[in-house]
Structure 1
Amino acid sequence: MTTAGFLYPGYSAEDDYPLFQRLLGDDVTLRLVHTLMREDAHRVDALLDVGGPDVLGDGARELRAQGIDAIVWACTSGSFVFGWEGAKQQVEGVAEVAGVPASSTSFAFVNAIRHLGLTRVALAATYPEDVAGRFVEFLGDGGSEVVSVASRGIVTAAEVGTLPAADVLDFVAANDHPDAEAVLVPDTALHSAAVLDALEDRLGKPVLTANQVSVWEGLRLAGAVAPRTGLGSLFRAGADLASAPAGQG
């Protein structure tokens, strides 16, 4: 049995993961540990604290005790806010504590874009504008061109987690761009597992969401790379077997 572990900050859209588990089937296991969120705010100082080594270390030790094959820090803003090199150090620290390959949602987005052979993307972000801008910089460091950026300006993960599916569909569709090969929807606080195929049907192109790429990355690092249906273009494309932690290239 392949087991991927996820460090998830606080409580907002954690119920996406049991749904992913049901959609994936019983040949893989997803384990989730909630990490400490001292302040729920999409603000740079709060995000640096959310992704601090003490917080992630505690969660990584808990997941290691449960027995996992790979681990993902399932938080986009709490990883890209450190910048490319800082996010690499963050992942390396998690891997050292957990004793397995590690990644984060930010690197998962980059790896998913590369796997699908994409270069130009649109960004539909729930974050405030300044935080979304940091993700644009991170994606640029990863080789992607962001052709448009939409910022919804929501400050807390708790509020993001309350957005209904119809609202998510409308928000993403409204912020597509004709030059974008895919639309990226960061923030693991946003529910997306139930609407992945619906999003792509509406836009007619790949849509990558934070919880989706996190799960894909965890399975990729754990060696479960077979194509799967019902979870968007990314899962239908399978994955490349990873021989080293993501973000190290």
Structure 2
Amino acid sequence: MQPIEPTFAGPEAQAGIGVVCPFDMALDRELWRWMPSDVSLFFTRTPFFDEPVSLEMAEDVSDDADILAAVKNLSAVRPAVMAYACTSGSFVNGLSGARHISKVMAAAADAHGVSTSEALLEALEYLGVSRVVVITPYVADLTVRLGDFLEEAGHSVAAQAGLGLDGGIWQVPYQATCDLIRGADVPEADVVFISCTNLPTYDIIAPLERELGKPVLSANQVTAWASLRRLGKAAVGPGQCLLA
């Protein structure tokens, strides 16, 4: 009897999301946690700037030419979606600035485009919530600018609090973020938003939602969710209100 030749199905077809993020992004793995098995992420970074996290840095990492160069770097693998994974870089120039980034990426890559700040607004609309507790790791003026962005988009800031950090944001422990949220939350707020794609949040979202009795959104969560929506796919995040 002749041995049966093995057959190898696959590899599984993959949909691609190109991710343009700032040079100091350290949480690639966190974004992967929201991905279903048939979606691949392709990361690239904007150029290095030797400066602290600030309004000036947010403006630098949202430069059109740098974003276009990053998109070009990803074009060979033809992602169906281009995501600009940076909250401050997409809200620093207001609502028009956030939309401009996604339009630039979409045109350059012939793909869907979305920025983190646009994804936040989509998530707020999807959940039907508008009174936001703004939580950031940022210095004060950057936290205030996020509040201005939300108010420009028609939402209200019920409370806000920041950690005052100008670097090392990816190293913030979950406990510090949770304590900041508990101290800032107010009854009239109907949602909490945790800003910065470099701040770890995946494991605290669902427990905080159960504790506070309201949705808790994070920058990486909404970026993943909005990108996957454009592919007709669901994000993986057990117990997270946005993904229910």
Shorter-chain TM-score bucket reads 0.7 to 0.9
Name the CA distance, whole Å, in 1 between partners of 2:91 and 2:142.
9
Paired residues of 1:5 and 1:218 also in contact (CA < 8 A): no
Correspondence 1:55 to 2:66: yes
The answer to whether the aligner puts 1:200 opposite 2:209 as a matched pair is yes
The counterpart of 1:8, out of the listed 21, 24, 44, is: 21
Q: Alpha-carbon deviation of 1:129?
A: 1.3
In the TM superposition, 1:159-178 aligns within 5 A as: 159-178=168-187
Q: 1:17 aligns with which of 1, 21, 31?
A: 31
Superposition map of 1:62-141 within 5 A? 62-141=73-152
Taking only aligned residues, the RMSD between alpha carbons, in angstroms, comes to 1.7
Is residue 34 of structure 2 the alignment partner of residue 26 of structure 1?
A: no
Instruction: Tell me which structure has the larger Cα radius of gyration.
Output: 2
Q: Give 4+ residue runs of structure 1 displaced > 6 Å after superposition.
A: none
In structure 1, runs of 5+ residues without a counterpart are 237-249
State the one-letter code of the partner of 1:213: V
Residues in 2 aligned to 1:19 and 1:215: alpha-carbon distance in whole angstroms: 9
Return 5+ residue gaps in structure 2 as ranges: 1-13
- The alpha-carbon distance between structure 1 residues 26 and 127, as it changes in their structure 2 partners (threshold 3 A), is same
State the match for 2:3 in structure 1.
Answer: none
SS in 1 for 2:230: helix
- What do the CA deviations read for 1:100-156 (whole angstroms, capped 9, x no partner)? 111111111111000101121111111111111111111112221111111221112
Question: Contact 2:72 / 2:108 at 8 angstroms: preserved in 1?
Answer: yes
Equivalences, count = 230
Distance in 2, Cα, partners of 1:103 & 1:39: 27
- Correspondence for 1:147: 158
Distance 1:83 1:202 in 2: 32
Contact 1:81 1:134 in 2 (8 A): yes
Cα 1:72–1:37 change in 2 (3 A) is same
Q: Residue in 1 aligned with 2:6?
A: none
TM-score by length of 2: 0.88
Alpha-carbon distance in structure 2 between the residues aligned to 1:15 and 1:223: 22
TM-score (norm 1): 0.86
Aligned-pair identity in percent equals 29
- State the distance in 2 between where 1:199 and 1:98 align: 37
Partner Cα distance (2:113, 2:93) in 1: 16
Equivalent-residue separation in structure 1 for 2:235 and 2:75 (angstroms): 27
Report whether the alignment pairs 1:180 with 2:189.
yes
Within a 5 Å distance, the mapping from 1:216-227 to structure 2 comes to 216-224=225-233, 226=234
CA deviation after TM superposition for structure 1 residue 13, in Å = 2.3
The answer to whether residue 210 in structure 2 is matched with residue 210 in structure 1 is no
